[in-house]
Amino acid sequence: MTRPRLSLAFVLVAVAALWDSRPRVPEPTTPAELLVGRWRCVHRDPPLPPGFYHEMSFSRTGEYLSGGPPGLSRQNTVWRYRLNGSVLDFTYDEATERAMMLDSRNHSWSVILSVTRDRLVIAEYTTSGDASISIYERFAGSHR
């Protein structure tokens, strides 16, 4: 009777050890890894205009997709981004670059204040002295 109990105990320990040794996918830990995904603005100071929303996504390959309501923003425009420390450097298409050169208020830079699995806080500064802070939450839906 002792022998079957010891065998069963040994089998249970062996199964538990094998179960625990399966490969694990590492959790994202760096800001660059945590940034990848889809984000929706849930709060902004100063507030967004009525009826306006902002969604964006960042890919592992450096693509940045931005979207907002039709008629109020460029829909699903794909740009490039690079994370330089906590500063987000964006590369825009030629038409956007030209428009930004004509309107100095659009010269801005974005700084990640914090990023976790579920929340992204970005401060945006302009050359004219304006500043805003936006809070984004991760979401699984697609851009509108």
**Rounded CA separation 57/54 (Å):** 10
CA distance 43 to 16: 46
Q: How far apart are the C-alpha atoms of 23 and 6, rounded to whole Å?
A: 29
Residue 39: enclosing H or E segment and its boundaries? Answer: strand 37-45
Q: What's the distance, Cα to Cα, between the start and end of the chain in Å?
A: 66
Q: What is the pLDDT of residue 62?
A: 92
| Sequence letter at residue 16 | A
Q: From the CB of residue 68, how many other CB atoms can be counted at a distance below 10 Å? A: 21
Note the helical H segments in 22-143.
Answer: 31-35, 94-102
Domain ranges of the chain: 2-138
CB-based burial, 103-135: b 16+ in 10 Å, e otherwise = eeeeeeebebeebeeeebebeeeeeeeeebebb
CA-to-CA distance for 5 and 18, rounded, in angstroms?
Answer: 20
pTM of the predicted protein model: 0.71
pLDDT tens series, the chain, 144 aa: 455 555 666 655 555 555 666 677 777 789 999 999 999 999 999 998 888 888 899 999 999 888 776 655 555 667 889 999 999 988 776 776 666 565 544 567 899 999 999 999 999 988 778 899 999 999 875 444
Dist CA 78 CA 66 (whole Å): 7
Q: What is the structure's pLDDT at 99? A: 63
SS3 for 77?
strand
Quick one: fold of 2-138? Lipocalin (2.40.128)
